[in-house]
């Protein structure tokens, strides 16, 4: 019941991208089912793909241990966290939007400083430097253990909000954050 209640009482935080960007790069805030992630153009490997990064509970998300009773510890107290990574083979934002829609994902696009995107992607790629600890083919995702615990006060939406802030965005506060939406602004 608690797992079902978190999205019901959780809030969607607004992400406000920077107004002025010298060298813009498009970044996407992705939402699918109960997952929030960040999708960036891949500056590390090749320019014709995008990489999605996310965060979740190791046992539930990476290992696929999704029995209903496992939801209780996943939400109530900190459990082992995981970073996830999924590659989207798209050559531009339009083809990425079509791919995301075909997979049942929603995404908001925002413009942020390109240099920050490179730093962000390199930092997360560093987490996967030794290779993925787990690959779930049905999700097309790679997983590695993350520092910190996953629970209702530190969910995928909370970590994605921190990532948005590292990209120069302002993010609205929420005690229990269930999702993110980009709200473009024209002034600071």
Q: What is the pTM of this model?
A: 0.90
Query: Which pLDDT band holds residue 186 (cuts at 50, 70, 90)?
Result: low
- CA-based radius of gyration for the chain: 16
Do 151 and 80 contact (CB within 8 A), yes or no? no
pLDDT tens-place string over residues 20-72: 999 999 999 999 988 999 999 987 666 679 999 999 999 999 999 988 888 88
Could you give the percent of the chain with pLDDT greater than 90? 77
Could you give the percent of the chain with pLDDT greater than 70? 90
pLDDT tens-place string over residues 117-153: 999 999 999 999 888 899 999 999 999 999 889 999 9
Query: Which pLDDT band holds residue 185 (cuts at 50, 70, 90)?
Result: low
């Amino acid at each position: 019941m608690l797992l079902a209640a978190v999205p019901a009482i959780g809030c969607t935080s607004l992400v406000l991208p920077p107004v002025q960007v010298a060298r813009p790069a498009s970044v996407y805030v992705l939402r699918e089912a109960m997952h929030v992630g960040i999708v960036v153009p891949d500056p590390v490997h090749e320019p014709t793909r995008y990489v999605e990064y996310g965060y979740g509970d190791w046992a539930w998300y990476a290992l696929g241990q999704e029995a209903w009773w496992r939801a209780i510890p996943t939400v109530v107290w900190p459990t082992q966290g995981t970073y996830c990574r999924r590659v989207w083979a798209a050559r531009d934002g339009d083809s990425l939007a079509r791919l995301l829609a075909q997979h049942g994902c929603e995404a908001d696009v925002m413009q942020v400083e390109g240099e920050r995107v490179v730093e962000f992607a390199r930092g997360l790629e560093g987490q996967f430097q030794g290779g993925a600890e787990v690959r779930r083919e049905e999700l097309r995702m790679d997983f590695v253990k993350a520092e910190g615990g996953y629970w209702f006060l530190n969910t995928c939406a909370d970590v994605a909000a921190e990532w948005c802030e590292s990209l120069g965005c302002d993010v609205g506060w929420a005690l229990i954050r269930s999702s993110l939406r980009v709200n473009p602004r024209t002034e600071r």
